[in-house]
A = this chain, B = another copy of it.
């Protein structure tokens, strides 16, 4: 046990390595599956090429960005005592690993899609196995690389700044180690911004463009090989839903750990692991979650054609969550002392130990983690309710489709707005509850607990677009009915998991931002964020507005790009003879290029808003106003994220309901009926809502918080920060002393 006590820190990257080994095994398994006949592999090849073309174009831009931002960071690291130019290395590592995880996931996804189609020729069970295994490669890759990266860098910086200097674990050296480590999270989140926003614009420009000309004007079905934009549409599923979602969760996963570690530095926990147990805990929990995600994934399987795919996924998911929760309980009991103290930010001088500090038990910490797990689960369930077929919200939109396009839109907007109520109440209770259990550290560790099984969540998320692509390939290759029936079955489950995944992603982004917010306040050396002050209140207003302009830019970018796509598809239909008769080959690559170019160009403006606003406000008006801004962004961003994602999801399923036929006032309506046409309008409006602007809110709020955390040491007078650290050290020795006295007594 003593050995473990000393070497636990080195065990953390090992968790990550185990994840990567399993990822490699699964990737190899997927690759050696049969990829089907010539037509299928040709189409899959187009998709894979298109996806890689997007990644290359994105990387080119990003490499410039990473170099410039890295140099700025390196310079800024020289200007304050509690930072270092080394932060630039951290940053580059974070950016690289996030991009690499996205690459691995997309690479395998574009292999798994066609292999799933081929497997669907045999059985549903085999098709599920191939597609879900493809998803786990993404899940394990993201979680594994994140833990390896964060864990290893922490070992390096801990050795450099704390252990080798013989400094106090709650003191300046640790503050520096964690500040430098924050660069890793900043790097990851920056990539996530461009992947999520760029990917979101890509996928919806292609989707809307393909639908407007193909379905509406030319009257050919979705995923028809004659549509020049169909390959771009299928590429979009990969860059938006696989790479975008992966980068988003990679960012959240890293940021929650980091924020908890930053807050953990302020916890006095003398006897355990050299006093750094509260700092190590989030990484250990993440490691456990990764291992049990591997275990849970093994349970995702079915035997017969009639078995429920959804149930299999749920069973695997719950297995990993429950096992992780149990293991977390024992780890918390083992690692933490009976009671810990969070050093107060203010009143340290005049308050005594017991009054000035917040005290919490280890059971409290586990309570906070449990709160996080419950919040995540509830958010997913609520999202599913608001977007599922057959439930009240979607039914109300269906009913309102019977009086036309306008009432369908009104219905969807109303549902989306209403759907913010329960998630916000859950989130507010979660904040309240986790704080009650373990103070601000509790809020952060709740987020970490929720994110523990990220590997599993992401496996399920990535399964969706793979199944969707598999269906697309089956359709384009005109495979037999029974094959398409199987891929449709998987695709339908994928739509549900997409909705719940979005709920989870928003919840994780919200809790992550709050954890980062709490960490920011500590590092910035401020004591309050008092919205009663006029300037802070002004910051709150400006912050609240940012998600609106960000959404507006994202939505209108999709509109513009979709119109360019429409022009191109119309041109091809006009100029290339024989497309409609399958004798002329459409120029897929031109459509791919349009989506790629548009998404790269359009992601710049929103990206700059997210990156520069906190820097400008912070340096012009100081950390407290920046705190107000962050609070405004977070509240408004979470609301707009839920509103837009759920409205979009509900419109989508209202439209899908017509494909099976729905009863309105005693009359049945099907595809091509007037109400169905109205529902298509809603679905098209919902597309950028649910896949571009809605999910990009996650990145926006996280990125602005992490930028603030990174610039925090520069925002206050260094003297004050050093003073505070000094005071905390004094307090720490007082607490330690009291604890010893109590122990003897």
- CA of A544 to CA of B424, assembled, Å: 9
Complex interface: chain B residues within 8 A of A537 (CB): 431, 514, 631
Is A268's CB within 8 Å of the partner chain B? no
Given contacts A530-B530, A548-B421, contact A555 B427 (CB under 8 A): no
A428, B538: Cβ atoms closer than 8 Å? yes
- CA of A547 to CA of B682, assembled, Å: 23
Is A46's CB within 8 Å of the partner chain B? no
Q: Could you give, for residues 524-561 of chain A, a 1 whenever the CB lies within 8 Å of some chain B CB and a 0 otherwise?
A: 00001111101101111110110011011101101100
Given contacts A404-B212, A443-B534, contact A559 B410 (CB under 8 A): yes
Chain B proximity of A210: nearest CB distance (Å): 13
- CA of A413 to CA of B212, assembled, Å: 19
Is A563's CB within 8 Å of the partner chain B? yes
A427, B631: Cβ atoms closer than 8 Å? no
Is A685's CB within 8 Å of the partner chain B? yes
Copies of this chain: 2
Given contacts A406-B685, A407-B559, contact A631 B429 (CB under 8 A): no
Is A639's CB within 8 Å of the partner chain B? yes
A409, B410: Cβ atoms closer than 8 Å? no
Complex interface: chain B residues within 8 A of A555 (CB): 410, 413-414, 417
Chain A interface bracket (under 10, 10 to 19, 20 to 34, 35 or more): 35 or more
Is A440's CB within 8 Å of the partner chain B? yes
Given contacts A429-B538, A529-B532, A559-B414, contact A406 B635 (CB under 8 A): no
| Nearest B residue to A558, CB-CB | B410
Is A411's CB within 8 Å of the partner chain B? yes
Is A589's CB within 8 Å of the partner chain B? no
| Nearest B residue to A402, CB-CB | B563
Complex interface: chain B residues within 8 A of A548 (CB): 417-418, 420-421, 639, 643
| Nearest B residue to A526, CB-CB | B532
- CA of A434 to CA of B563, assembled, Å: 45
A532, B417: Cβ atoms closer than 8 Å? no
Is A339's CB within 8 Å of the partner chain B? no
Q: Could you give, for residues 431-443 of chain A, a 1 whenever the CB lies within 8 Å of some chain B CB and a 0 otherwise?
A: 1101110001001
Chain B proximity of A573: nearest CB distance (Å): 16
Chain B proximity of A617: nearest CB distance (Å): 11
Complex interface: chain B residues within 8 A of A563 (CB): 403, 407
Q: Could you give, for residues 204-220 of chain A, a 1 whenever the CB lies within 8 Å of some chain B CB and a 0 otherwise?
A: 00001000100010000
| Nearest B residue to A534, CB-CB | B435
Q: Could you say which of A411, A428, A518, A553 has the most chain B C-beta atoms within 10 Å of its C-beta?
A: A428
- CA of A394 to CA of B393, assembled, Å: 31
Q: Which of A653-690 contact B (CB under 8 A)?
A: 680-682, 684-685, 688
| Nearest B residue to A528, CB-CB | B530
Q: Could you say which of A518, A643, A682, A685 has the most chain B C-beta atoms within 10 Å of its C-beta?
A: A685
Interface of A is mostly: helix
A428, B541: Cβ atoms closer than 8 Å? yes
Is A638's CB within 8 Å of the partner chain B? yes
Complex interface: chain B residues within 8 A of A514 (CB): 537
Is A151's CB within 8 Å of the partner chain B? no
Q: Could you give, for residues 388-426 of chain A, a 1 whenever the CB lies within 8 Å of some chain B CB and a 0 otherwise?
A: 000000001000100111110111011111101100110
Complex interface: chain B residues within 8 A of A684 (CB): 404, 406-407, 410
A639, B636: Cβ atoms closer than 8 Å? yes
Complex interface: chain B residues within 8 A of A545 (CB): 420-421, 424-425, 639
Complex interface: chain B residues within 8 A of A628 (CB): 531
B431, A552: Cβ atoms closer than 8 Å? no
Given contacts A420-B549, A556-B414, contact A528 B532 (CB under 8 A): yes
Is A632's CB within 8 Å of the partner chain B? yes
| Nearest B residue to A638, CB-CB | B541
Is A445's CB within 8 Å of the partner chain B? no
Complex interface: chain B residues within 8 A of A239 (CB): none
Is A521's CB within 8 Å of the partner chain B? yes
Chain B proximity of A442: nearest CB distance (Å): 9
Complex interface: chain B residues within 8 A of A549 (CB): 417-418, 420-421
Q: Could you say which of A403, A534, A682 has the most chain B C-beta atoms within 10 Å of its C-beta?
A: A534
B443, A540: Cβ atoms closer than 8 Å? no
Is A135's CB within 8 Å of the partner chain B? no
Given contacts A424-B545, A431-B538, A541-B424, contact A635 B632 (CB under 8 A): yes
Is A627's CB within 8 Å of the partner chain B? yes
B636, A544: Cβ atoms closer than 8 Å? yes
- CA of A716 to CA of B454, assembled, Å: 44
Is A566's CB within 8 Å of the partner chain B? yes
Complex interface: chain B residues within 8 A of A424 (CB): 541-542, 544-545
From the candidates B435, B556, B558, B627, name the one contacting A535 in the complex (CB within 8 A): B435
Q: Could you say which of A529, A537, A541, A684 has the most chain B C-beta atoms within 10 Å of its C-beta?
A: A541
B405, A631: Cβ atoms closer than 8 Å? no
| Nearest B residue to A211, CB-CB | B406
Chain B proximity of A385: nearest CB distance (Å): 15
- CA of A636 to CA of B320, assembled, Å: 38
Complex interface: chain B residues within 8 A of A406 (CB): 208, 680-682, 684-685
| Nearest B residue to A537, CB-CB | B431
A681, B404: Cβ atoms closer than 8 Å? yes
Q: Could you give, for residues 626-648 of chain A, a 1 whenever the CB lies within 8 Å of some chain B CB and a 0 otherwise?
A: 01100110011011000100000
Chain B proximity of A77: nearest CB distance (Å): 27
A532, B559: Cβ atoms closer than 8 Å? no
- CA of A684 to CA of B681, assembled, Å: 14
Complex interface: chain B residues within 8 A of A535 (CB): 432, 435
Complex interface: chain B residues within 8 A of A551 (CB): 417
- CA of A563 to CA of B416, assembled, Å: 20
- CA of A405 to CA of B680, assembled, Å: 10
Complex interface: chain B residues within 8 A of A434 (CB): 534
A405, B407: Cβ atoms closer than 8 Å? no
A681, B405: Cβ atoms closer than 8 Å? yes
B534, A431: Cβ atoms closer than 8 Å? yes
Complex interface: chain B residues within 8 A of A421 (CB): 545, 548-549
25 pairs, CB–CB < 8 Å, chain A vs chain B: A212-B404, A406-B684, A407-B563, A407-B684, A409-B409, A411-B559, A414-B552, A417-B551, A417-B552, A418-B549, A425-B542, A427-B538, A427-B541, A428-B542, A431-B537, A431-B541, A435-B534, A521-B532, A528-B528, A529-B530, A531-B631, A540-B635, A545-B639, A548-B643, A681-B681
Identify 16 new A-B residue pairs, CB closer than 8 A, beyond the known A404-B684, A405-B405: A208-B406, A212-B403, A403-B566, A405-B681, A406-B684, A409-B681, A410-B556, A417-B555, A418-B548, A418-B556, A425-B542, A531-B531, A531-B628, A531-B631, A548-B643, A632-B635
Residues of A that sit less than 8 Å from B by CB: 208, 212, 216, 396, 400, 403-407, 409-411, 413-418, 420-421, 424-425, 427-429, 431-432, 434-436, 440, 443, 514, 518, 521, 528-532, 534-535, 537-542, 544-545, 548-549, 551-553, 555-556, 558-559, 562-563, 566, 627-628, 631-632, 635-636, 638-639, 643, 680-682, 684-685, 688
